[in-house]
Amino acid sequence: MIDDTAFWSLTLALGLGTFLIRFSFLGLLGGRQLPDWLLLHLKYVGVAVFPALIVPAVLWPAALDGETQAPRVIAALVAVAAGLRFGPVGAITAGLATLYSTQALF
């Protein structure tokens, strides 16, 4: 186990680091108009990060020791199709409904 001093030092350091990262965007750039080229690139951040978070959970889930399950893959494919047609809320709704129904069937 970690001792109390190290724990609280680490907690405060991580909190300060998180604050500084957020402040760098909100505090320093919050009231300014960003250049068009930067806005264009920031538009794609979510598109790049979201698949990086989802794909490992679908193809190599740690809870299953990296074993791929058909219900997860089917739900991901349905969510992608629904997302293209209905947007993010439709993708989440369709993906969850498909995941739970296929898990009940399998």
The radius of gyration of the chain's CA atoms, rounded to the nearest angstrom, is 20
Which tokens in the block code for residue 78?
């349905």
| Residue 10: pLDDT band with limits 50, 70, 90 | very high
Percent of the chain with pLDDT over 70: 100
Packing angle of the helix pair 70-86, 88-105 (nearest 10 deg):
150
Contact (Cβ atoms closer than 8 angstroms) between residue 95 and residue 75? yes
- Is the pLDDT at 73 greater than 80? The verdict is yes
| Residue 54: pLDDT band with limits 50, 70, 90 | confident
Which pLDDT value is given to residue 1?
82
- pTM (two decimals): 0.61
**Average pLDDT over all residues of the chain:** 90
Dihedral sign for Cα atoms in the order 36, 38, 40, 46: negative
